[in-house]
Chain A
Amino acid sequence: DIQLTQSPSFLSASVGDRVTITCRASQGISSYLAWYQQKPGKAPKLLIYAASTLQSGVPSRFSGSGSGTEFTLTISSLQPEDFATYYCQQLNSYPPDFGGGTKVEIK
């Protein structure tokens, strides 16, 4: 199975900050990576798929990059509504597992 390691697991940032979250795969997954945002008590929301394609309706301050084994999710200017937990997911092969998550909190 492919393991996904997210870093950091916790991040404290201020409104307006540029934030970068990394997801590393234990083997190459081409660009078959998705990013999700989850707020407490809510279902996850798809932000980015195919490593860098923004899901419809997602603000352009979110961007994704990478291929192979290293991927990043960047929020260019953190907004109050962006404080949440972020997960990556690989879709290269079964099982389509998730990373451990990165919780973004207000500094």
Chain B
Amino acid sequence: EVQLVESGGGLVKPGGSLRLSCAASGFTFSSYSMNWVRQAPGKGLEWVSSISSSSSYIYYADSVKGRFTISRDNAKNSLYLQMNSLRAEDTAVYYCARDPYGSAGFDYWGQGTLVTVSS
């Protein structure tokens, strides 16, 4: 069974940093591109970042470029999101999601981890 489990969320002050993790199981993690998608309270879905299976290709939304860094450790079946210079508008539930084909949608999602940026 495919499972994605996020962790690392919490309360952080503006300007602070946080590192999210996503532990993958039930599939060959190293074969899939992965993504982070976030959802602010009461709002819609916002794609944040993507990383290819071998980390060769990395993309970011303009809203997080220069502040967030996506990475993965295929040996540990884990995806990460390092978030620096956090702002109030980064407050959201952050989901990791698997991308099976690169153009066919995200087929598995984690349960999400809440990041709250507030003083």
Mark A residues whose CB is within 8 Å of B: 32, 34, 36, 38, 43-46, 48-50, 53, 55, 87, 89, 91-92, 94-101
- Is chain B's interface secondary structure helix, strand, loop, or mixed overall? loop
Q: Are the C-beta atoms of B47 and A98 separated by less than 8 Å? A: yes
1/0 per residue, CB under 8 A from A, across B56-92: the answer is 0001011000000000000000000000000000000
Residue of A nearest to B59 (CB): A94
Q: Are the C-beta atoms of A98 and B44 separated by less than 8 Å? A: yes
Given contacts A43-B95, A94-B59, contact A50 B104 (CB under 8 A): yes
Q: Are the C-beta atoms of B112 and A92 separated by less than 8 Å? A: no
**Top-5 shortest CB links A-B:** A34-B105, A43-B109, A49-B105, A49-B104, A98-B45
Could you show 17 A-B contacts with beta carbons less than 8 Å apart? A34-B105, A36-B45, A43-B109, A43-B111, A44-B45, A44-B95, A46-B106, A49-B107, A53-B104, A55-B105, A87-B44, A92-B103, A94-B50, A96-B47, A98-B45, A99-B44, A101-B44
